[in-house]
């Protein structure tokens, strides 16, 4: 685990150096609105600590495992706060090139507020 990577955009957002519309600002977890929303609700949930993707977070063992639990719990809290708990939502970890991961700091997308198709594009 690396606590912060200077050139990482999401480390910058977590630190408050890069502006973002935050909806949660916790000790270990930060959530903010996606700059290019793909649904009426599109929030990104990240740990403050830098891991390149969810696989690296899991591979780190503890404290990574505890952090993953916190991330998922935070995603659920965001969904509840955004009023999409009952209508439904997706929690997505894009991981690697084929998934279209564009920012190498683990993040959960919380998407909802409209019906979504499956399979994803
Ligand atoms: P991914 O493609 O899964 O790596 O997701 C990265 C997400 O970060 C994309 O949905 C982008 O729209 C979003 N994003 C990129 N830059 C920012 C930013 N400065 N503030 C908020 N969201 C961003």
Q: How would you write the pLDDT of the chain (121 residues) with one tens digit per residue?
A: 678 888 999 999 999 999 999 999 999 999 999 999 999 999 999 999 999 999 999 998 877 778 999 999 999 999 999 999 999 999 999 999 999 999 999 999 999 999 999 999 8
**Ligand 1 center–CA 78 separation, angstroms:** 17
Considering only the top CATH level, what class is 9-112? alpha beta
Name the burial class of residue 35, with classes exposed (0-12), middle (13-18) and buried (19+) by CB atoms within 10 angstroms of its CB: exposed
Distance CA(17)–CA(76), nearest Å, equals 26
**CA-based R_g, the chain, Å:** 14
- Work out whether strand 41-47 and strand 89-92 pair parallel, antiparallel, or are unpaired: unpaired
Of 13, 30, 36, best ligand 1 pocket probe by most atoms within 8 Å of the beta carbon: 36
Catalytic residue among 42, 50, 105, 107, which? 107
User: In which element (H, E) is residue 30 found?
Assistant: strand 29-33
pTM of this structure: 0.97
Distance CA(60)–CA(121), nearest Å, equals 30
**DSSP reduced 3-state for 63:** coil
Cα 117 to its chain centre, rounded Å, is 21
Decide whether any atom of ligand 1 lies within 6 Å of the 103 Cβ. Answer: yes
Tokens encoding 49 = 């600590």
Annotated active-site residue 105? The verdict is: no
Count of beta carbons in the 10 Å neighbourhood of residue 95: 15
Decide whether any atom of ligand 1 lies within 6 Å of the 104 Cβ. Answer: no
End-to-end CA distance of the chain: 32
């Amino acid at each position: 685990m690396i606590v912060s990577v200077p050139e990482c955009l999401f480390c910058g957002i977590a630190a408050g150096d890069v502006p973002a519309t935050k909806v949660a600002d916790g000790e270990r977890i930060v959530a903010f609105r996606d700059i290019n929303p793909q649904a009426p609700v599109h929030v990104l949930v990240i740990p403050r600590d830098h891991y390149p993707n969810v696989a690296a977070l899991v591979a780190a063992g503890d404290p990574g495992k505890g952090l993953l639990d916190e991330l998922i719990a935070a995603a659920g809290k965001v969904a509840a706060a955004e009023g999409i708990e009952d209508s439904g939502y997706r929690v997505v970890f894009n991981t690697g090139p084929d998934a279209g991961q564009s920012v190498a700091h683990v993040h959960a997308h919380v998407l909802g507020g409209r019906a979504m198709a499956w399979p994803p594009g």
